[in-house]
Amino acid sequence: MPIYNAPLADMKFILNDVFNAEQFWQANEKLAHVDAATAEAILEEMAKFAQNVTLPLNRTGDEEGAHYENGKVTTPAGFKEAFQQYAEGGWIGLGADEEWGGQAMPKMLTVLADEMLFATNPSFMLYPLLSVGAGMALNSYASQEQKETYLPKIYSGEWSGTMCLTEPHAGTDLGIIKTKAEPNEDGSYNITGTKIFITGGDHDLAENIIHLVLAKTPNAPAGSRGISLFIVPKFIVNADGSLGDRNTAGPGSIEHKMGIKASATCVMNFDAAKGYLVGKENEGLAAMFVMMNYERLSMGIQGLGASEYAYQNAAQYATDRLQGRSANGVQSPNKPADSILVHGDVRRMLLNARANNEASRAFAVYVGQQLDITKFSTDAEAIAKANNRVALLTPIAKAYLTDTAFDAVIDAQMVFGGHGFIREWGMEQCVRDLRIAQIYEGTNGVQSQDLIGRKTIKCNGEFIAEYIAEIRDFANDLDTDLNFIKDATLDVATEVDMITQHILERAKENADFANAAAVDYLHAVGLLSFSYMFARIANAAKNKDGQFYQDKLALTHYFIQRVLPDLHARIAKIKAGAEVLMNFSEDYFTTQA
Ligand SMILES: Cc1cc2nc3c(=O)[nH]c(=O)nc-3n(C[C@H](O)[C@H](O)[C@H](O)COP(=O)(O)OP(=O)(O)OC[C@H]3O[C@@H](n4cnc5c(N)ncnc54)[C@H](O)[C@@H]3O)c2cc1C
């Protein structure tokens, strides 16, 4: 059975030492109810839930999968009870406003709680995750009456939420969706269309499901400017809040897929289903983006959780597995062979994963802090700056954290040799379950387009320039005993600054340049972000006694010497330009040899 021990010491180090979270919370009136002791107690409780409840259901959930029968979806054995326990523990509303029954905890903290659940059972985690995302979109754009009707029930777990965007012919390009919304005289709409790939579209965990559906009203402008957002409940909610008739919205089937098999991915049919407009007509995409941006950061946390889980199991296996002898002579003469930990290549794989976990965790908390500033600060300038930072870093959080996590999970699987490929050790499930994180919520390729296009070229590099300025300020203030990370971070900042200018120039000359450069640019900005995180980690660890802190510094050295050099390859690929791709004719891809 795979193991998982919540990395509480690392989490507390990031919150307390790296980000001085308590000081940040106490300085803000709206967060003053949170202190380090409260945060630690929450993390410890979540660790128990993850280790004792969701971890044991991970493999059984994968093997049993979600079921579809007679128009109804049921979740694997144990999921219903676990969801009830999760809801009763108040976890769904951990970060939600108190007004709606939430606990108003900062994002800096909730990302760490989410990490543990994603590590131990990503399929399970997706059910409450979609509820929280739907709650956030409603909180930002719904009417007061809609908030009062839906939010308390969503955060209590009595009802759940979904996000219905994708259609068979429209995934990345939502401007071409066909789902229609016809207005009724009573102010409601009839929603008709088919959505596919809807996570948690139907299940048996909650008594009602609140679908947030994108659709087009008659005469809506073409493209994404003509999209509206609707609440479509599975059961119509009566005026007194009780459940009324079954709505004509339901699952047509569930997908049979590579991983996250316990998460029901549904084809949803809306047959003149009753829907209620959220916000204004044709402004639905902005509302949906509240949900999508939340989910995108969460996908990065899915990556982090999987990478931590894979690392822990691989490190344990490497300690126990005896194969070959050390190049420096026999290390364990009383055993038939040395542990595979004596081999440099095995260490490379483990340290790649470990470096990824520590930098990703710090980065998730950093982005969480920026989100907390946007939500809780009263300083307009600080809010505007944090908004720009969140806009810039959301695609990094989604795509870079899942790309690096997938590499880490593959490395961890390789540590097991052939045993990584068979079920028993849990690694093949981990790989299968994580792959989707690079695909859904907008593929990582499309996230990269967002970074290079909307978040960089469109603002003439302003967002990245502000970020680089902050990183330079931080690095320049480091003590001389941290010159190794200071110099590395300043160098990366210069390289990313220069390649950004290069992109801004060449994108003017060649319309294909940015699209072809996007993924490599995302990885370059990701490496800059990880350097910044390691600079912060090293700064927090320096001058502190104990192996725990020495290890942080040693891992920082590892990152600089064995991970960061990838930057040069990324930059070379960006400079190679688009012609080398675009010069192939379409026939080259379509003509069979
Ligand atoms: C298990 C699962 C759960 C999901 N859950 C949900 C959900 O709850 N709600 C929901 O609405 N959807 C959901 N989805 C859908 C998911 O978000 C989409 O599949 C994803 O966004 C990609 O869209 P697509 O599949 O249509 O691919 P396409 O858009 O057809 O893309 C195909 C390829 O082309 C590339 N591409 C497309 N446009 C560009 C461009 N402009 N530049 C460069 N490359 C481009 C893409 O990167 C990709 O590699 C889920 C999908 C799965 C598999």
Confirm or reject: Cβ of 443 under 6 Å from ligand 1.
yes
∠ CA 302-406-527, nearest 5°, is 95
**Does the C-beta of 171 come closer than 6 Å to ligand 1?**
yes
In 3D, which of 37, 120, 540, 32 has the Cα closest to residue 308? 120
> In sequence order, what are the beta bridge partners of 273?
191
Q: Separation of 178 CA from ligand 1 center, angstroms?
A: 16
Measure 97 CA to ligand 1 centroid, in angstroms: 31
Task: Indicate the DSSP class of residue 216.
Answer: B
- C-alpha distance from residue 36 to each of 92, 359, 364 (Å): 21, 21, 18
Determine if ligand 1 sits within 6 Å of the CB of residue 445.
yes
| Residue-range domain boundaries for the chain | 443-583
Whether 441 sits among the annotated catalytic residues: the reply is yes
To test the pocket of ligand 1, the residue of 230, 258, 295, 446 to mutate (highest count of ligand atoms within 8 Å of its CB) is 446
Indicate the residue type of 180.
Answer: K
Per-residue pLDDT at 593 = 62
Quote the ligand 1 centre to 170 CA distance (angstroms): 8
* Cα–ligand 1 centroid distance for 296 (angstroms): 13
Q: How far apart are CA 422 and CA 311, in angstroms?
A: 17
| 488/532 Cα distance (integer angstroms) | 10
Q: Is 164 in the pocket of ligand 1 (CB under 6 A)?
A: yes
DSSP labels for 205-243? SSSEEEEEEEEB-TTPPSGGGG-EEEEEESEEEPTTS-E
- CB of 442 shorter than 6 A to ligand 1: yes
Compute CA distances 111 → 305, 371, 407, 534, whole Å: 10, 11, 21, 19
Q: Is 163 touching ligand 1 by the criterion CB < 6 Å?
A: yes
What amino acid is encoded at 587 in this protein?
D
How far apart, in whole angstroms, are the C-alpha atoms of residue 289 and residue 254? 25
For residue 443, report the distance from its CA to the centre of ligand 1, in Å. Answer: 6
Q: Quick one: which of 449, 584, 472 has its CA closest to 520?
A: 449
Using 50 as the pLDDT threshold, list the residues of the chain that sit under it. none
Q: What is the pLDDT of residue 1?
A: 86
Which helix (H) or strand (E) covers residue 44, if one does? Answer: helix 36-49
Q: How many CA atoms lie within 13 A of 211 on its CB side?
A: 34
Q: Report which protein residue has its CA nearest ligand 1's atom 2.
A: 197
Residue nearest to atom 14 of ligand 1 (CA): 197
Q: Which residue lies with its CA nearest to atom 12 of ligand 1?
A: 166
3-state helix, strand, coil in the chain (%, to 5): 60, 10, 25
Q: What is the pLDDT of residues 477-515, one digit of tens each?
A: 999 999 999 999 999 999 999 999 999 999 999 999 999
- Residue 374, token pair as written in the block: 């946007």
Per-residue model confidence (pLDDT) at position 290 = 83
Instruction: Report the C-alpha gap between 339 and 347 in whole angstroms.
Output: 11
- Verify whether ligand 1 is closer than 6 Å to residue 66 (CB atom): no
Give the Cα separation of 264 and 251 in Å (integer): 10
Comparing CA positions, the residue from 320, 323, 194 lying closest to residue 250 is: 194
Dihedrals φ, ψ of 31, to 5°? Answer: -115, 5
Active-site annotation holder among 441, 466, 495, 586 = 441
Total number of residues shown for the chain: 593
172 lines ligand 1 (CB under 6 A): yes
Q: Report the distance separating Cα 46 and Cα 111, nearest Å.
A: 12
pLDDT for position 592: 72
CB 265 near ligand 1, within 6 Å: yes
Counting atoms of ligand 1 from 1, which one is nearest the CA of 214? 11
Coil, helix or strand at residue 381: helix
CB 166 near ligand 1, within 6 Å: yes
Ligand 1 midpoint to CA 167 (Å): 10
Pocket test for ligand 1, best of 440, 448, 450, 512 (most atoms within 8 A of CB): 440
> Measured in angstroms, how far is the CA atom of residue 560 from the centroid of ligand 1?
34
